[in-house]
Amino acid sequence: MAELGAASLWIALALASYSAVGSFLGKVRGSPELVVSARRAVYLVALVLLVATMSLMALFVSQDFEVAYVAAHSDRAMQSHLTWVAFYAGNEGSLLYIAAALGAMSALAIWKARDKNLQDTLPYTTGVLMLVMTFFLAVMGFMANPFDKLPFIPPDGEGINPLLTHWGMFFHPPALMAGLIAASIPLAFAMGSLIGGQSEDEWVDAGRVWGIVSWGLLACGLLLGSWWAYTILGWGGFWFWDPVENAALMPWLGLTAFIHSIMVQKRRGMFRMWNIVLINVAFGLALYGMFVNRGGPVPSVHSFGASTLGWVFLLFLIVGVLVPFAVFFWRYNLLKSARNLDSMLSREAAFLANNLLLLGIAFVTLWGTVYPLIPRLTTGEEITIARPFYDQVNGPLFLALLCLMGVGPLLPWRRANFAAVRRALVVPVAAGLMLAVVLLALGIRQPYALTGFALGGLVATGIVAEWVRGARSRHRSSGELYPVAFVRLIMANRPRYGGYIVHLAVVMVALGVIGTSFFNQQKDVVLAPGETVAVNDYELRYLGTVAEFKGNRTEYLSTVEVLRDGELQHMLYPRRDFYPSFNMASTRASIRSTPVEDLFVAPSENMADGSVGFRILVNPLIWWMWVAGPVLILGTIVALWPQRVRAPVRVAAATPAPRTGGQLQRGMGDTAPGD
Amino acid sequence: MLAVSLAVAAAWHVKAGPVQAQQPGPTSSPGEALQYDEREAQRIDKMLMCPVCPAETIDQAQVEYSKQMRRVVREMLAQGHSREEILDFFADRYGPQVLAAPPKSGLNLVAWIVPVVAVIAAICGGLLVIRSMAGRNNAPTGDGPLGEEGLEEYLEIIDRETGG
């Protein structure tokens, strides 16, 4: 089985490099046969990598400890459903997973695009994707082969890292890794269009779709990672600006800017250069993320052990940033906008401001990550940049972004007149202010929290008001029932309304962040069995702990009663697992979660006499943050769902806009709207 | 680990000796209740890194070392020390990297100023670009058929209400 896996890796490497060379050569030499054959090789790469993936899975399931990777990341006591997690618990398996994900997504992207108006550019897109693929396969083949064998057969493996045995880990790392590598697909389409010398906007649809895929995967990965940290790390937080978290956040910010800005190019033929810059930046940040994950230079709770892979990925990062920008400057002249901005008060301008803010947050984050290197290398002084820095610098930027999220979508394309803007903004702004006044009356004084809540109210009201207005107008004109009218409204312009759903999810995340950052209560106590402690209006009584030995760990299960006004409300069962072979404990917080607040209890220490150190937290509003996940996925799917009738409005440079016609037709309702 | 915690505690007692002598009330013997503001203590916990764990504050880390440091924070608070004094004490003892964010003074001011300046510069630059683009367009060669101008607002309303 190990031989099959190793062989498929080498075959995939051969196919990918053939496809990369063949795509470029076939296009330059004008040989359509070679181009087609190189394209088909992409599908084969995906298949062969599937075989390699299955082989590694099979090796784990059959507990073949002769394979070094299997021995290092599993043991006989491991439950078989954890095979999936053990698969990417180390560098070698992660690389195989990334290559397989890239293979599958490249094949799908290229297959979907093969009949589109991309003949001149698709071969270059294929070539770029397969160059990236070749890199990963070569690193695996020569430096980190997951199928390498040990010179002997150990009786048992070393076991899986206990922090990974949580079901959040089934999705968090794979979503992030797939999201990071997926950023290479929009980049490849952008590069294809530049190298192919196509001056127009053909790449925009594919670029947008795959940009959103990458963005959505990263968003899910980030949320799941936060949720995992919240339930298992035992200190009750979900985000602490760790270098590796930052490395995943930054490409997400870059892609957020890109998927907004690409809409301007799709609708208005503008921002052509800017979009290329944005996707280059997002791809560069994704490469940086992979570099940090594979042995980067910064200390982090995610450090997967030092490895020489760091240098290779640093090199890849440098090349992956320089080459796309070189191509950009080479083809600079192609990228003239079809139009100019009409007004400072327009949706285009709001999108540009949003892009700058997002890049600003990404820059602050990058700055915070690399700045400690400067004093270290110059004065030799060691400093740390952690959460307090990011909270203080990025906090206001996030608030500004929230504000823009409320105002921007209400502005029309091109040019707004003040009366129309006032009309659109009056209700949301009034709602936001009213919310602020109510909260003030309730005794909330923190200016940040007040502003945040008010802006959240503004955004949500703006969205809901627009839905209500749209549904009502459809109901009036066609007599559709309100729910039908609402669904049809959303389906009629999926990019916009999908975006609104995502915006609502962002407001929910903001609620959770503000609630826990400003209003949480924390108590660290040591309780002997039978003792009680009061937190807010809860009274907690610790009853006792049961220790149970389970193969590779001892589980300490504590029982805690929650009383309110003297009445028993709830039982909580926080757990702490101690793994002697890792000298490491993992906690499972027990959380009573409601939309109003979470009561969080995590054991931090089990003493010999049966008393337990507990961390008890009351976290207001955090429930909304986890519910935001499914809402965000729903919005992303709506935005991505293909439109049946596609009549893309393409605008060549210097030709007058056909927009009026399209708009009027839309107004008369005789064609399905474009996008 | 015990040796380490004793070292921390010992360092603190040596340094704080005179202060303690002046205050008859709270002593730092373990187990006794201290008088201090727990919320402030938690804020300070979040500003100090645990020296023996990678990238965790003493609020997060659950090793003995960070528990000792949390205790020292509370003792110092109980003896009337301010947040700055406590942070300075730990920075003197462990070097500036024990602070979760560099102080806003001296060379470290660079860490704080550069991002602020960069963001402001980017936004000003963006505004200038928009301005100049919008200015160019006000010339009579503006794009789009002229007839569209008066309809803009209505088209937008139609767009909005039909989901265009």
Q: A386 in contact with B at a CB cutoff of 8 Å?
A: yes
A574/A551 Cα distance (integer angstroms): 20
Close Cβ partners of B149 (under 8 Å, ≥ 6 residues apart): none
Of residues B134 and A321, the one with the higher pLDDT is: A321
Closest CA to A106 of A204, A20, A193: A20
Contact (CB<8Å) A387/B46: yes
CA–CA dist A114, A127 (Å, integer): 14
**In chain A, which residue's Cα lies nearest the Cα of B115?**
A364
Q: Which chain A residues touch B151 with a CB distance below 8 Å?
A: 660
DSSP of A205-257: HHHHHHHHHHHHHHHHHHHHHHHHHHHHSSSS-S----HHHHHHHHHHHHHHH
Contacts of B46 in chain A (CB under 8 A): 387-388
The secondary structure of B101-138 as a DSSP string is: S--SSGGGHHHHHHHHHHHHHHHHHHHHHHHHHHHHHT
User: Lowest-pLDDT range, A297-306, A393-402, A648-657?
Assistant: A648-657
C-alpha torsion A327→A331→A335→A336, nearest 10: 150
Interchain CB contacts (distance < 8 Å): A and B: 194
User: B163 vs A492: CB contact, 8 Å cut-off?
Assistant: yes
Residues above pLDDT 70, as percent of chain B:
62
Residues 649-668 of A with CB under 8 A from B: 656-657, 659-660, 663-664, 666-667
Closest by alpha carbon to A639, among A496, A486, A505?
A: A496
Residue A605 contacts B, CB cutoff 8 Å: yes
How many Å lie between the alpha carbon of A431 and the closest alpha carbon of chain B? 21
User: Does A474 reach chain B within 8 Å, measured CB to CB?
Assistant: yes
Q: How far is A392 from chain B (nearest CA, A)?
A: 10
Helix axes A347-370, A387-407, angle to 10 degrees: 170
pLDDT at A200: 67
pLDDT at A297: 55
- State how far the Cα of A600 lies from the Cα of A591, in Å rounded to an integer: 5
Q: Which residue, B140, B4, B136, B124, is CA-closest to B64?
A: B4
Classify A160 as helix, strand or coil. Answer: coil
Residue type (1 letter), A440:
L
Answer whether A24's CB lies under 8 Å from A127's CB. Answer: yes
pLDDT at residue A634, rounded to an integer = 94
Answer whether residue A615 shows pLDDT above 90.
yes
User: Which among A240, A363, A667 has CB closest to B158?
Assistant: A667
Closest chain A residue to the Cα of B160, Cα to Cα? A470
Measure B64 CA to nearest chain A CA, in Å. Answer: 10
Most confident of A5-14, A329-338, A350-359, B117-126: A5-14
Q: Check: CB of residue A177 under 8 Å from CB of residue A101.
A: yes
Mean pLDDT over residues A127-135, rounded?
96
Which tokens is A442 given? 């309730």
Q: Nearest residue of A to residue B51 by CA position?
A: A384
Tell me the CA distances in angstroms from A294 to A169, A314, A317, one per residue in order: 18, 10, 12
Contact A558, A547 (CB under 8 A): no
The whole-angstrom distance between A305's CA and the closest CA on chain B is 12
Residues 6+ apart with CB under 8 A from A235: A602, A615, B59, B60, B62
The verdict on a CB contact (< 8 Å) between A341 and B155 is no
Average pLDDT, integer, range A311-319: 89
Is the Cβ pair A470, B142 closer than 8 Å? no
Lowest mean pLDDT among A160-164, A211-215, B30-34: B30-34
> CB within 8 A of B87, min separation 6: which ones?
B44, B47, B48, B99
**Å between A269 CA and nearest CA of chain B:** 12
Q: What is the ipTM of this complex?
A: 0.78
Q: Count CB neighbours of A652 within 10 A.
A: 10
Q: Does A413 touch chain B (CB under 8 A)?
A: yes
Strand partners, A554: A549, A578
Q: Testing the interface with B: which of A230, A370, A383, A490 to mutate, by most B Cβ within 10 A?
A: A383
The C-alpha atoms of residue A618 and residue A593 are separated, in whole angstroms, by 10
| CA nearest to A491 within chain B | B163
Better-predicted residue by pLDDT, A145 or A334: A145
* Cβ contact B69:B8 at 8 Å: yes
Of B49, B143, B159, the CB nearest to A663: B159
A470 and B161: CB-CB below 8 Å? Answer: yes
Q: Mean pLDDT throughout A628-637? A: 94
CB atoms within 10 A of CB B92: 12
> Is A522 an interface residue toward B (CB < 8 Å)?
yes
Of the CA atoms within 13 Å of residue B163, those in its CB half-sphere come to: 26
What is the average pLDDT across A444-472? 92
Q: Which of A124, A142, A6, A137 is nearest to A64 (CA)?
A: A6
Would you call B119 and A360 a contact, using CB atoms and an 8 Å cutoff? yes
pTM of the full structure: 0.87
CA dist B15 and A452 (Å) reads 43
Q: Please answer whether residues A133 and A181 qualify as being in contact, where contact means their C-beta atoms are separated by less than 8 angstroms.
A: no
CA dist., res. A207 & res. A178, Å (int): 16
The pLDDT assigned to B6 comes to 42
Q: Which of B73, B80, B49, B47 is nearest to B63 (CA)?
A: B49
Tokens of A175: 């979503």
Assess contact for A565 and A555: CB atoms under 8 A. no
- Residue A99 is encoded by which pair of tokens? 């290559």
- Give the closest residue to A250 by CA, choosing from A208, A213, A278: A278
Asked if A387 has any chain B CB less than 8 Å from its own CB, the reply is yes
Tell me the C-alpha distance between B46 and B70, whole Å: 10
Neighbours of A109 (CB within 10 A): 24
A648 touches chain B (CB under 8 A): no
Looking at residue A298, its pLDDT comes to 53
Q: Which of B47, B54, B115 sits opposite A299 (nearest CB)?
A: B54
* Distance of alpha carbon A587 from the chain centroid: 25
pLDDT of the residue at A159: 85
Answer whether A388 sits within 8 Å of B47, measured CB to CB: yes
Is A135 touching B (CB cutoff 8 A)?
no
Q: Which chain A residues contact residue B114 at CB under 8 A?
A: 367, 371
pLDDT the model gives residue A199: 62
Q: For residue A492, list chain B residues with Cβ-Cβ distance below 8 A.
A: 162-164
Chain B within 8 Å of A393 (Cβ-Cβ)? yes
Contact yes or no for A492 and B126 at CB 8 A? no
Flag whether residue A490 sits within 8 Å of chain B, measured between CB atoms.
yes
pLDDT per position as a tens digit, B5-33: 444 544 444 444 333 333 333 334 445 57
Q: How many CB atoms lie within 10 A of CB B137?
A: 18
Query: Could you tell me which chain A residue has the CA closest to the CA of B141?
Result: A656
Picking from A245, A356, A675 by the largest number of B CB atoms within 10 A of its own CB, the best residue to mutate is A356
**For the CA atoms of A122, A128, A134, A136, what is the dihedral angle to 10 degrees?**
-120
Token reading at B152: 């803009």
Distance CA B110, CA A358 (A): 22
Contacts by B121-128, CB closer than 8 A, 24 or more apart = B122/A356, B122/A359, B122/A360, B122/A363, B123/A353, B123/A356, B123/A357, B123/A360, B126/A352, B126/A353, B126/A356, B127/A344
C-alpha distance from A189 to closest chain B C-alpha (Å): 27
Q: Is the pLDDT of residue A649 over 60?
A: no
Best of A278, A366, A385, A587 to mutate (most B CBs within 10 Å, chain B): A385
**Contacts for A570 with CB less than 8 Å, ≥ 6 apart:** A561, A562, A592, A599
Task: Quick: pLDDT tens for A495-542.
Answer: 889 999 999 999 999 999 999 989 989 999 999 999 999 998 899 999
Q: Which residues of B touch A242 (CB under 8 A)?
A: 55
Please indicate whether, in this complex, the C-beta atoms of A237 and B136 are within 8 angstroms of each other.
no
